[in-house]
A and B are shown apart, each in its own frame.
Chain A
Amino acid sequence: NAGVMQNPRHLVRRRGQEARLRCSPMKGHSHVYWYRQLPEEGLKFMVYLQKENIIDESGMPKERFSAEFPKEGPSILRIQQVVRGDSAAYFCASSPTGGFRRNTEAFFGQGTRLTVV
């Protein structure tokens, strides 16, 4: 059973380009969370999705950022018109049930390191 798979591992974009980050959850997991880790800061929650639904996007910047988790295929975090401040590590986590209730562990991917030049 492969873990949470994220690709690409490293992504370089010029200012103004679009960045697309992919996350394939563990087999049997239908809940996906995206987190962002800015340099010298802790991980911050961005968005929680179930298949075809955004459940909680309270941590997403209001502009330029969007996320989806289609019925088929990986979850996608899309950043339009990237700026230098978007440079960070973006982590995806998955779980088999909603939230991280009680004894449900969080399984994280290796992350995508986005560098905006």
Chain B
Amino acid sequence: KQEVTQIPAALSVPEGENLVLNCSFTDSAIYNLQWFRQDPGKGLTSLLLIQSSQREQTSGRLNASLDKSSGRSTLYIAASQPGDSATYLCAVSPIDGGATNKLIFGTGTLLAVQP
């Protein structure tokens, strides 16, 4: 059974720091892995999607890597800003042989960037 874990559960950093969020998953049979951002009381915003054949994706100050064989992904945020404060969710799309693929989410990392 696929399980997704995110460490740390919460992180507080001063503005300007570079930081890394970690995501691990137990089954490497995935189509892709996505990183989302969730603001309090809001929906999910997709940040980056990495296909199973890819090693990393970049968007602005964000870089996500994927090591499928070890079941790990990292989200790197450069030069953090207070506006980056949110919960960051990792989700995998498992190849389960069924008629559909549904995302399996981690419980998230709550990030606070202090001005």
Contacts and interface: CB of A to CB of B under 8 A. Distances in A.
B51 A91 contact: no
A33 B102 contact: yes
A84 B93 CA distance: 31
A5 B49 CA distance: 22
Given A42-B89, A105-B34, A110 B101 contact: no
Nearest to B108: A42
Contacts of B36: 108
Contact of A105 (B43, B49, B89, B106): B49
Sorting the interface of chain B by its residue count into under 10, 10 to 19, 20 to 34 or 35 or more gives 20 to 34
A62 interface: no
A105 B42 contact: no
A91 B103 CA distance: 12
Interface in B26-84: 31-32, 34, 36, 41-46, 49, 51-52
A16 interface: no
B115 interface: no
Contact of B103 (A6, A41, A45, A55): A45
A111 interface: yes
B98 to A, nearest CB: 7
A100 B4 CA distance: 17
A48 B100 contact: yes
A57 to B, nearest CB: 10
A99 B34 contact: no
Given A42-B107, A42-B108, A110-B43, A103 B102 contact: no
B105 A101 contact: no
A106 interface: yes
